[in-house]
Structure 1
Amino acid sequence: MSDKSLKDLQQEVHEYISQFKEGYFSPLAMMARMSEEVGELAREVNHRFGEKPKKATEEENSIELELGDILFITICFANSLGIDLAEAHDKIMHKFRTRDADRWTRVDT
């Protein structure tokens, strides 16, 4: 198990991408890539939990790897736009905690 923070992950991806002259893809290209990766995740989930088994000719893949691909492209997208994902996370959690405070049935503790 890794103890990397979002900041660590963003830095690691930035160091990786910075090795290449091409750098980050354009936002539109990253959006297309993200859509493609989400589609691949949907396919894996359908194979595992849905009614569509994998064909014998299809590559072995995993939900874990597809989520990793989505995380990577999300980090690339954020880095290219100068977005701190930890800050974005905090803002979203605040939104859910306030907007949806009474939306769901709480577990008794």
Structure 2
Amino acid sequence: MTLEEAQKKVDEWIKTYGVRYFSELTNMAILTEEVGELAKVMARKYGEQSFKEGEKENIADELTDVLWVLLCIANQTGVDLTKEFTRNLEKKTKRDNKRHINNPKLNDDGK
């Protein structure tokens, strides 16, 4: 599925089942909440915290929740994520094409 197709599927779902989009501000708050849920799982899986009884390692689900809300916000604000992702990748490539390769902190021995 492309980003364009994903944006269309989200829009169709909202119009079919969701009644309407939440406001942009509400969706921003929901995005923050979803990123927090992802951070909690990451801290438990890769950090020093442990899972509480009944908690699950659901990184895929949490990442998808974040993506869902990002797609909603893109639709609401008229952002074509395919076009903008391509533009952003070109910007990063032009700006950073030597930056990371020449970063001694990223070499194999970690020094």
The answer for the alignment partner of 2:9 in structure 1 is 12
> Contact (CA 8 Å) 2:74, 2:80: kept in 1 or not?
yes
Q: Which residue, out of 93, 100, 106, partners 1:97?
A: 93
Q: How does 1:1-109 map to 2 (within 5 A)?
A: 4-20=1-17, 22-56=19-53, 58-105=54-101
Aligned length: 102
Q: Percent identity?
A: 36
Q: What whole-Å deviation, never above 9, does each CA across 1:32-87 have from its counterpart, x for those lacking one? A: 0000000000000011011110111x432411110000010000000111111101
Q: Using the alignment, how far apart are the partners of 1:97 and 1:50 within structure 2?
A: 31
Could you list the runs of 4 or more consecutive aligned residues of structure 1 that deviate by over 4 angstroms after TM superposition?
A: none
Q: TM-score scaled to structure 2, two decimals?
A: 0.85
Q: Tell me the amino acid that sits aligned with residue 99 of structure 2.
A: R
Q: Using the alignment, how far apart are the partners of 2:27 and 2:90 within structure 1?
A: 27
Considering only aligned residues, what root-mean-square deviation do their CA atoms show, in Å?
Answer: 1.5
The alpha-carbon deviation at position 99 of structure 1 amounts to 1.0
Greater fraction helix: 2
Q: Using the alignment, how far apart are the partners of 2:27 and 2:33 within structure 1?
A: 10
Q: TM-score scaled to structure 1, two decimals?
A: 0.87
